Amino acid sequence: MSLQRLSLEDLLELDNVNLDRYTENFEISFYLFFMEEFPDLCLLYKDHRHAGYLLARLKVECGVLMGHLAFLSVGSNFRGTGIAQRLMEGYENTVVNGYNAKLAALYVRPSNKHAINFYANIGYTVYRTMPEYYTGSSPEDGYEMRKDLAR
């Protein structure tokens, strides 16, 4: 298994990773935006098939450069194997060592207790609640979670 950059060819096989109720599916333009603007923050973990992937970007808030995780998904057959943690480590190392970012942020559904526990276990804390952040068929607030990356 290996951690690598997400490629255009990989996009065709991501649907197999996106098969649970918490995983959003997006138009191809969503993925292309991240791959064009932040290619080194689009990571894939695979062996002979796609196991998980991550999309992130950089943003500046109050003069502080931070990484912002937009998407993390691990295929159901690969959950509990450490792939999500490896993807997050690759992302955090890139934003710290490649860009000198001081913080990392993400949004998560309060109902997604498994994800909240995962992020808490790797150092993220709930920073604030975003009212009505998630819309669509299952609307709910969102938690913004953050991690201090300063070493």
Per-residue model confidence as pLDDT tens digits over 40-63 = 999 999 877 788 999 999 999 999
pTM: 0.88
CATH code for the domain defined by 2-148:
3.40.630.30
Are 1 and 47 a contacting pair, CB within 8 Å? yes
* Distance, CA of 140 to CA of 137 (rounded, Å): 10
**C-alpha torsion angle, residues 122, 88, 3, 48 (rounded to 10):** 80
DSSP annotation of 145 reads E
b/e map 69-101, b = 16+ CB within 10 Å: bbbbbbbeebeeeebbebbbebbbebbbeeeeb
Q: Give the domain ranges of the chain.
A: 2-148
Q: What are the tens digits of pLDDT across the range 77-122?
A: 888 999 999 999 999 999 999 999 999 999 999 999 999 999 999 9
